[in-house]
Structure 1
Amino acid sequence: MTPPRQFYLKTGLHVPFIAPWSAETPLPYEITKKVRPDGREGIGYTDELSHADRRNSNLWVRWPALRGRGKPDLAAIHPLRQRQAMSHMLCMVCGNSTFNDDFRRWGHRHLFIARAVEGHPIRDGEVTDTPPVCLPCAVESVDACPHLRKGHTAALVERAEPWGVAGIVYDPRTLRRIPAPADKELTEVADEDPAICWTLAARDLVALTGCTPVDLNDLAALSTAA
């Protein structure tokens, strides 16, 4: 796999791989009822291209891939690059594979970081839309990201197993959008939930298992020593 091109802010920090750019605006669409590839009824596009618009029978938002054009939106997430990063375990910041030397050194585990919620560590069974991160980018992120500077947690994770998607859920009868929970931008829907047939997916969700909390400074020191 060819390493992705890197883009930087004037400060010298990375523009995250999963950040959208101003030229990458969502494409217009019209929702209708359709029979999904798996035989179940659900939503579809009126002008659907099944090979491009679905993954695992689930309908996905249409976003162009024009990385590097315009200005980056550091507070947002590009749906398809997030999905790519989660599917292939790419670093969410630089876009390179996290199946690297550190992965092998850490006993075939990936590094995940998250904002600390009431000081809780990343735990087994936790569901997340945040892809893994390589160690140098993790150290950069906790220094650069205002949310992570307020408090973060990190863990080495054995498995990131598919759990579902986050997206916009439509009413099966009226095809009207069902509002997301008050504290969420999108609604999280598990793969086994019938509502997934009526969900326009915008992010992949995984469940983390085999989680070992770590301190990034200690991890960086060990990596340097190696």
Structure 2
Amino acid sequence: MTVTQFHWRGLHVPFVAPWGEENPLPTRLIKRVGPDGAEGIGYADEVSGADRRDGALWVRYPLVRGRGKPRLADIHPLRQRQAMSHMLCMVCATSTFDNDEFSRWGGKHLFIGRAVDGRPIRDGDVTDTPPVCLPCAVEAAEACPHLVKGHTAALVERTEPWGVSGIVYDPRTLRPVSTKSKNGLTDVAFEDPALRWTLAARDVVTLHGCTPVDLAELATPSVAA
């Protein structure tokens, strides 16, 4: 998979970042009865096989990457889902299965995230952040405002689907349920009944076979070799 690389102020624009002309498409939500007989949200003009995945209704977004200015602090729902599903680097969109590091690391993928009280990435953690290749991880750790303040990294053997992150709607009023999260999204597991009332914006997975690593040491030739 070859993806055009865009740069902004000398840095890579992450593949998962939306651009100025990529905004949620206007839609009308309604109550609908699913195949299992349970009520949930749907689109008035829902397209079978296109608007849902694993039972979750997904937000509609245009795909016009490169148009306008990049919104580096945001995530494009469909590209995030693509990166997570195919284990693509969230920055350059190359496969983390095909790079040299994957073999050197014993068939593991690199994940990074903001450090929370110095806590490392652990087995069973849930995340909506796709993997990243080593060069892009180093660049992100040095340039991303969130990661510069503190980051944690781990080599991960595998991921498993867990659920989605999205906006949960009240079954009675069809109004968004308030949340304290900074991005306005709520993590909802696939087995949670709230899934059918959730407008998904990100795939969420669990991480397994995690080995915490120091990114600077990992990038040192003598260590990475």
> What TM-score range do you get, normalising by the shorter chain?
over 0.9
State whether structure 2 residue 119 is matched by structure 1 residue 120: yes
Once residues 201 and 37 of structure 1 are traced to their aligned partners in structure 2, the CA distance between those partners, rounded to angstroms, is 19
Deviation of 1:10 after TM superposition, in Å, equals: 2.8
Q: 1:123-142 residue pairs with structure 2 within 5 A?
A: 123-142=122-141
CA contact (8 A) 2:167 2:184 kept: no
Are the structure 2 counterparts of residues 98 and 182 from structure 1 closer, same or farther at C-alpha, using a change threshold of 3 Å? closer
Are the structure 2 counterparts of residues 168 and 224 from structure 1 closer, same or farther at C-alpha, using a change threshold of 3 Å? same
Are the structure 2 counterparts of residues 182 and 20 from structure 1 closer, same or farther at C-alpha, using a change threshold of 3 Å? closer
Deviation of 1:51 after TM superposition, in Å, equals: 2.1
Q: 1:43-62 residue pairs with structure 2 within 5 A?
A: 43-62=41-60
Once residues 43 and 36 of structure 1 are traced to their aligned partners in structure 2, the CA distance between those partners, rounded to angstroms, is 9
Deviation of 1:179 after TM superposition, in Å, equals: 1.0
User: The residue matched to 2:16 in structure 1 has which SS?
Assistant: coil
Once residues 38 and 196 of structure 1 are traced to their aligned partners in structure 2, the CA distance between those partners, rounded to angstroms, is 13
Unaligned runs of 5+ in 2: none
| Worse overlay, 197-206 or 29-38 | 29-38
User: The residue matched to 1:52 in structure 2 has which SS?
Assistant: coil
User: The residue matched to 2:216 in structure 1 has which SS?
Assistant: helix
Deviation of 1:104 after TM superposition, in Å, equals: 1.6
- The equivalent residue for 2:167 is 168
Q: 1:1-226 residue pairs with structure 2 within 5 A?
A: 2-11=1-10, 13-37=11-35, 40-99=38-97, 100-222=99-221, 226=225
CA contact (8 A) 1:37 1:57 kept: no
* TM-score normalised by length of structure 2: 0.95
Deviation of 1:178 after TM superposition, in Å, equals: 0.9
Deviation of 1:57 after TM superposition, in Å, equals: 2.1
The residue type paired with residue 180 of structure 1 is T
Once residues 47 and 222 of structure 2 are traced to their aligned partners in structure 1, the CA distance between those partners, rounded to angstroms, is 46
The residue type paired with residue 120 of structure 1 is R
Deviation of 1:225 after TM superposition, in Å, equals: 6.3
Once residues 103 and 36 of structure 2 are traced to their aligned partners in structure 1, the CA distance between those partners, rounded to angstroms, is 37
The residue type paired with residue 30 of structure 2 is T
User: The residue matched to 2:113 in structure 1 has which SS?
Assistant: strand
- CA RMSD in angstroms comes to 1.5
Please give the per-residue CA displacement for 1:197-224, whole angstroms capped at 9, x wherever unaligned.
Answer: 1100000101111110001122112478
User: The residue matched to 1:141 in structure 2 has which SS?
Assistant: helix
Once residues 192 and 205 of structure 2 are traced to their aligned partners in structure 1, the CA distance between those partners, rounded to angstroms, is 15
Unaligned runs of 5+ in 1: none
| Worse overlay, 178-187 or 198-207 | 178-187
User: The residue matched to 1:130 in structure 2 has which SS?
Assistant: coil
The residue type paired with residue 178 of structure 2 is P
Deviation of 1:182 after TM superposition, in Å, equals: 4.8
Please give the per-residue CA displacement for 1:147-181, whole angstroms capped at 9, x wherever unaligned.
Answer: 11111110001111111101011112222211123
| Worse overlay, 41-50 or 214-223 | 214-223
CA contact (8 A) 1:90 1:133 kept: yes
